[in-house]
């Protein structure tokens, strides 16, 4: 039944042995300074049977990172700490790319020494930010100035160069879920009237320029992107997503991005609404490279969407938290452990709820 998921697939330069991708999952196990810790080595090694691992979202700069104990990739210390993680995945015959993250207006001033966060325009995210001092209301962002764009793009470039030094197999631009690039893409948060605002062509400009910088470091066949074109996400939405993301797809086709991953909110989606038209068909009709869908999939509908050609691969997020051997479980048609009770340990430090989930073989051995 799940055979379509176990055919190899080429994702740019990466030859994936199966079509089960590990989606980015923020887990909060780095230090307060964004330095990866030794337990992250084991966590990623355990999940190396995925066709491809996309790392948790990783900050490109201090300005862009506003999640407690999330990792970064802007410093030499962070870069060095990623090396054993990548090496462990490769030794386990896995493949791993780094997702590059700038949170934009989702960064609370707590993380910026009291300075306001940056965004496309002077807007404020809804809800609350998580900080080491507890939850705090988001505060207004300031618009990035035109003369700051080269510096921002270079922050992405330096992060991409550091990811290369750390040994990764490529990078993914996080342009989804209401973070900085998404804030520029969609007209609900991009209120600019300069070259980076107004028309869809202008609103995708920053995405294009960042992708071009990443490609200059890695080559187009090792640079992918994540988009979330389907409905509101952390207060970011668009009045005409087909036009906006159709233009984004046109740019990605022109640039030759290695693959596009789409967040498709499902019935239990973390971000956004579920009663909105799905835009993967619009993107599929323009971008001809590999398409990876992520939407709270069960193995059965994942296999069906690959078999039908709707997607070339499926990225699984939360099932990989409590099932380090998710690929083997799907292959064998075995049970998949639910994440009941897990939220308390999704982001807490330590090994509990992180590296202590049993494999199917370990479960079997424990009852014999």
Among 43, 44, 156, 179, the active-site one is 179
Cross-strand partners of 99: 172
Say how far apart CA 9 and CA 16 lie, in whole Å: 5
Active-site residue flag, 354 = no
Q: Where are the beta strands (DSSP E) in the chain?
A: 9-11, 14-16, 20-22, 52-54, 58-59, 96-101, 118-119, 128-131, 134-137, 142-143, 171-174, 223-227, 260-263, 291-294, 313-316
Q: What three-state secondary structure class fits 249?
A: helix
Say how far apart CA 177 and CA 236 lie, in whole Å: 8
For the chain, the residue count is 368
**Burial of residue 8 (number of CB atoms within 10 Å: 0-12, 13-18, 19+):** exposed
CB 189 within 8 A of CB 122: no
How would DSSP label each residue in 26-68? ----S-TTS---THHHHHHHHTTTSSEEEPPPEESSSTT--ST
CB 159 within 8 A of CB 248: no
Q: Where are the beta strands (DSSP E) in 157-209?
A: 171-174
Active site residues per annotation: 179
């Amino acid at each position: 039944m799940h055979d379509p998921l176990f055919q190899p697939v080429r994702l740019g330069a990466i030859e994936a042995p199966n079509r089960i991708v590990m989606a980015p999952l923020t887990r909060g196990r780095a230090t307060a300074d964004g330095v990866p810790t030794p337990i992250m080595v084991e966590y990623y090694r355990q999940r190396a049977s995925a066709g491809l691992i996309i790392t948790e979202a990783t900050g490109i700069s201090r300005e862009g990172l506003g999640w407690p104990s999330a990792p970064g990739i802007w410093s030499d210390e962070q870069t060095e700490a990623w090396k054993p993680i990548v090496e462990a995945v490769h030794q386990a015959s896995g493949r791993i790319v780094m997702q590059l993250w700038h949170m934009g207006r989702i960064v609370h001033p707590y993380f910026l020494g009291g300075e306001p966060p940056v965004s496309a325009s002077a807007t404020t995210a809804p809800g609350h930010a998580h900080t080491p001092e507890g939850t705090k209301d988001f505060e207004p962002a300031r618009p990035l100035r035109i003369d700051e764009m080269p510096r921002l793009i270079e922050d992405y470039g330096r992060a991409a160069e550091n990811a290369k030094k750390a040994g990764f197999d490529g990078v993914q631009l996080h342009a989804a879920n209401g973070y900085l690039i998404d804030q520029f893409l969609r007209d609900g948060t991009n209120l600019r009237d300069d070259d980076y605002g107004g028309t869809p062509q202008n609103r995708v400009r920053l995405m294009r320029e960042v992708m071009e910088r990443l490609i200059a470091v890695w080559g187009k066949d090792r640079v992918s992107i994540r988009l979330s074109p389907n409905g509101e996400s952390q207060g970011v939405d668009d009045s005409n997503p087909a036009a906006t993301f159709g233009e984004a797809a046109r740019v990605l086709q022109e640039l030759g991005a290695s693959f596009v991953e789409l967040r498709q909110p499902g019935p239990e989606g973390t971000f956004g609404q579920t009663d909105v038209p799905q835009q993967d068909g619009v993107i599929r009709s323009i971008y001809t490279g590999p398409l990876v869908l992520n939407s709270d999939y069960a193995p059965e509908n994942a296999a069906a969407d690959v078999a039908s050609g709707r997607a070339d691969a499926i990225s699984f997020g939360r099932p990989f938290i409590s099932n380090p051997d998710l690929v083997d479980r799907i292959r064998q048609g075995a049970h998949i452990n639910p994440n009941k009770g897990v939220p308390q340990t999704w982001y807490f430090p330590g090994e509990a709820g992180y590296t202590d989930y049993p494999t199917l073989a370990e479960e079997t051995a424990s009852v014999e």
